[in-house]
Chains A and B, each alone.
Chain A
């Protein structure tokens, strides 16, 4: 479409953060995802934070139903979705009132003017209309009649008014795409694949998208366009990846690398379900997905599949993991290899299903009856979920043990550019099943190798018939045994075996000097905020280093020594100090804790200010 208006000035930025927010029916997740993919394709580094409403069917227009998606995109390497927002798109008053606090002063505010009517304002608790009463003067407010303009744009497509209104998010997207100088192409392709079967809907969304873009081009009130140049990432092929998708792909890769069939036993639970769903898309990778009747069956079917000789996995979140506890004990005592994924969410009990937290570390380390050691590892970012899945399976088969993988709602739903690995360069996982035995030879299912690992004998192998079970087993023979000394010996062996995994994991790396005034010690999804905060402190000349723990049980061999090299240790956690209490009791050192229990990740500023309060 030819435009008569002259091009507007373009300002160059290093980075920007945009948040789309609206009612959960407004398609904000889709808008955010499209903006992310487009920015990633453009070569920006990106980090995202989708924020889902706690209630799926909250009444329309209420604060409980607000859904948001934040994207931080940059021409430099970034690790977090951004503390404050440079541009906020609010589709209704409820979205505005719940999100405005994060918009920086002077930031761009795009609102759907048509939604700011009496009912909507009332639901959001506004007595006067904020877009008219001057209360938004400190922002660059653009009040756009998005509903009206979208209806006009799609007029010829033959949609009902309700359907037409559903295209509003594409109008908003188009406007923001123009604002940040992004191409419409990826979204047009997306529309084609997604709505190809309903050409009238595809046409309407395309029209709405373009109308939004042209609105930005032509309307005088929006005077500047912004440009964020591509980031200088290491060379390679990239794609955008979401954490849960990455972990599913990591599982697929691990199964291929070990030449195994992949079995997943799972029960739907937020925020882990997407892993089950993703694997279901890839049955052609020899994937069996069993949606069990409950979490207990999800766990115990996983044990059955491990006994069968498959690569066996279950994924859940805190309350589900609690139900799996008894099964995990059986997995530990039968010493069968499997991967158990906990995508952590706010607890206790049902807690905050859609919000993030790191409060299941203690559960992973200690949440079973008896002396029941399990290795625990944690992913640090969406893309890292891929690697962690492969590493978990390597540990599981090398040491014949269930392995806990911790991620959280924040990295599971967040996304980042992911450097596509070269498949031939991924490490093979070698598995040796013992072969058939001749008549007369006896098989000892609990005889161990130098790693203290027992043989993985699978049904169907002649001569290796044996019985596993939850009763204590005699060393070597594996027969049921109530001998007190044997029990103590077996408990020690199981603990020793898990401790020995430290022989097979990399030494702990530090970001920063090997000694100093302060060590910021983090694990899991707090990585990005901590890394960024420590870089800030280091740039100010502070003697601060960052240690991101990937292996939480066992710890890397050099970890104890690292702790002694710093005057103080700061542990930021989205819990009330779970890693801190392990560090204190294991290494007998003092720690400074920074805890947050708001269902939200740390902002960089929170960590920076804590660092500044410790190191002048």
Chain B
């Protein structure tokens, strides 16, 4: 559809639907919703060209609160619904909103295949490490030993790490942010929106009712400078309140080092989000707080690759170029026919 008239300038409020938001007070989802509404007007897209598709879970209520096109589909299937939509309509900007249970457990297969096809979708996974909507069972990202109503003696399920998984599926864009880190979150969503291909964003989201404090180490104002590391393309990996620590490669393993005492910035690992090799991004995705590392936030990887939604439509064009536009009469009469008089 071609739009000749200049677009009206939209405000965050223009993206709010008339529905009451029904997340628990204090839920991290509110902040993500707010940042999304704040970021979307900066893209300059008409509202009607944006679609939010979700699965099932607390996060998946998201489309109801956006005054765009949307579908609250079924558990885990949002990437597949979005695939059908985007394949037919590459002109639309399509967002997939999912959670750790929806995206990684029941919908793990769709997520994996969607990412490897590099469909031009923006997938935002709200990771709260718990099943919230069903009131507190352990999820695929719950840590080992996590005691919940369905794991009273502690979870014995080895957790999945969403970004490691995405990178393993050859994701072309992988990022992480935190619900309360609003500037960072908004900038990360924008980067995802601008990426051509599947953009996968994990957001640390607090479920203050069933798993309060799961990300406290990464959110707490006093500790976050030590427990997180903001990635910047082309810059060395430095963190700490006084920016006095860094990540250095020791063989194939990262290690935390203190700057000074003979170690300079040049000795550190430099971030390269455009590296065609995903190994660095994967290594970053494996840095965990529990292992004594700061957890990277920001864009891990952003590379260009062919998009499924573009290529499938190009094949149609190519086929038309080679064979001409499909003609039923010619098709029906192709090959051997005979006449009865």
A interface list, Cβ under 8 A from B: 37, 40-43, 186, 189, 230, 233-240, 249, 252-253, 256, 261, 263, 265, 282-288, 290, 292-294, 296-297, 300-310, 312, 326-327, 329-330, 334, 420-421, 423, 459-471, 479-480
Contacts and interface: CB of A to CB of B under 8 A. Distances in A.
Contacts of B92: 308, 459-460
B133 to A, nearest CB: 12
Contacts of B73: 300, 303, 330, 469-470
A296 B340 contact: no
Contacts of A252: 326, 328, 331
A287 B316 contact: yes
B48 interface: yes
Contacts of B279: none
Interface residues of B, number: 62
A294 B79 CA distance: 13
B81 interface: yes
B280 to A, nearest CB: 28
Interface in B37-82: 46-49, 51, 53, 56, 63-64, 66-74, 77, 79-82
A290 B51 contact: no
A288 B80 contact: no
A468 B68 CA distance: 11
B150 interface: no
A12 B147 CA distance: 84
Most buried by B among A41, A303, A307, A310: A307
A420 B71 contact: no
Most buried by B among A43, A296, A301, A329: A301
A32 to B, nearest CB: 15
A385 to B, nearest CB: 14
A234 B339 CA distance: 10
A471 B71 CA distance: 10
A471 B89 contact: no
A327 B83 contact: no
Contacts of A238: 337-340
6 contacts: A283-B319, A285-B331, A293-B112, A327-B74, A329-B74, A459-B49
Contacts of A292: 80, 83, 113
A461 B312 contact: no
A341 to B, nearest CB: 16
Contacts of A327: 74, 77
Contact of A261 (B1, B88, B332): B88
Given A252-B326, A256-B328, A460-B1, A301 B72 contact: no
B84 A43 contact: no
Contacts of B74: 300, 326-327, 329-330, 470
A239 B83 contact: no
Contacts of B79: 297
B320 interface: yes
A308 B319 contact: no
Contact of A307 (B19, B85, B312, B336): B85
B116 to A, nearest CB: 9
B48 A464 contact: yes
Contacts of A37: 336
B251 interface: no
Given A293-B109, A302-B84, A40 B64 contact: no
Which applies to chain A's interface (DSSP): helix, strand, loop or mixed?
mixed
Given A282-B326, A284-B322, A330-B74, A290 B338 contact: no
Contacts of A41: 336, 338
Contact of A263 (B87, B326, B336): B87
Contacts of A479: 19
Nearest to A461: B48
Given A284-B316, A290-B83, A263 B88 contact: yes
A460 B334 CA distance: 38
Given A283-B319, A308-B88, A470-B72, A462 B46 contact: yes
B323 A284 contact: yes
B341 A235 contact: yes
A288 B72 contact: no
Contact of A460 (B48, B316, B319): B48
Contacts of B134: none
B224 interface: no
Contacts of B80: 292-293, 296-297, 300-301, 304
Contacts of B312: 288, 290
Nearest to A420: B332
Nearest to A287: B316
B158 interface: no
Given A37-B336, A237-B339, A467 B323 contact: no
B84 A239 contact: no
Contacts of B337: 237-239, 420
B71 A293 contact: no
A3 B70 CA distance: 76
A288 to B, nearest CB: 6
A60 B83 CA distance: 43
B69 to A, nearest CB: 4
B324 to A, nearest CB: 7
B110 interface: yes
B315 interface: yes
B325 interface: yes
Contact of A421 (B48, B70, B332): B332
Interface in B84-136: 84-89, 91-92, 109-110, 112-113
B67 A288 contact: no
A57 B19 CA distance: 58
B313 interface: yes
Contacts of A288: 87-88, 312-313, 316
